[in-house]
Amino acid sequence: MSLRDDYAPTISPGPYPRLRLKPRTSAAQTIASLEQLINKARDITSHADGPADVVVDRLRNGYADWVEQVEDVLHSATYWTDWSSLLFTDRYWHIRDMASAVSRPHPLVDHEIRRQTAWLQGAVDDLKSRVARADLATGAPAVVDTNVLLHFMPLDQIPWPEVVGMREVRLILPLRVVEELDSKKYDQSKLAAKRARSILPRIEELVGPAGEPGNVRENVTLEVLVDAGPRFRSGDADDEILSVTQELPLIYGAQTCLITGDTGMKLRAHARRIPIVSLPDQYRRQGDSV
């Protein structure tokens, strides 16, 4: 198998991929690095003049170097490892194989640069929008899992600042939690189905448009993380919730805890070194066993 075969496109990520940041990665630095590369790409064709062989050499090497720099940033800052499906296109290989006799090298490289910078800018804009969302509310970020919603008292009846140990608390529901509640509406357990059907309308009442933060009680807000574009959706619901919790400090700039009463979730969170807040049994719903 050739190198070109190894890099053949294998996925269709949609209009742009979601940048899933790695721990100890700065969202601001990732944005700055990628925007610098986007601007740099636009200079590749403008600085390629002269004899045909010189032009082709500058375009070929300039574009290949740029792709490698983009791949380095994405590999070091994000979890998605299949950037090759976007970066190493058929046109990329045409550029890599260009000889001095190639006809119209500028349009070939320029069109590919436009395509690459378009999806890259979309991914950067999405990351920017997530960072901007951090300014919509104050308080210590705390992710609430499905177990808490189903087996503990309604969110507006729990003294969250006391439970979390912070003066202000920002409760966050990953979209996967809402989806799990939606599926619970049709659960074989009539009790679980009844609870899910009562919880979902209340969530809609509490949050703002598109899941933006809304007041739950004094010094407590609630929001649902709704993605404007494609999102990472694991086959394992708990894994997705944990991944969201792990990434939020990189986006919101504050330590984020996970609130859960599920033993398995606690163990998995400990393994990822995610801070956990366990709700006292006094806040369990009536009829739920300890």
DSSP secondary structure string, the chain? --HHHHT-------SS----BPTT--HHHHHHHHHHHHHHHTTTTTT--SSHHHHHHHHHHHHHHHHHHHHHHHHHHBS---THHHHS-HHHHHHHT--TT-S-HHHHHHHHHHHHHHHHHHHHHHHHHHHHHGGG--SEEEEE-HHHHHHB--GGGS-HHHHHTSSSEEEEEEHHHHHHHHHHTT-SSHHHHHHHHHHHHHHHHHS-GGG--EEEETTEEEEEE--SS-----SSHHHHHHHHHHHHHHHHSS--EEE---HHHHHHHHHTT--EEPPPGGGBPTT---
Confidence check: pLDDT of 14 > 90 = no
Greater model confidence, 107 or 40: 40
Average per-residue pLDDT for the chain: 86
If pLDDT is split at 50, 70 and 90, which confidence band does 100 have?
Answer: low
Q: What is the mean pLDDT of residues 173-202?
A: 88
Report pTM: 0.79
pLDDT at 53: 74
Q: Which residue has the higher pLDDT, 162 or 287?
A: 162
- For 223-278, write each residue's pLDDT tens digit: 999 877 666 777 888 999 999 999 999 998 889 999 998 999 999 999 999 999 98
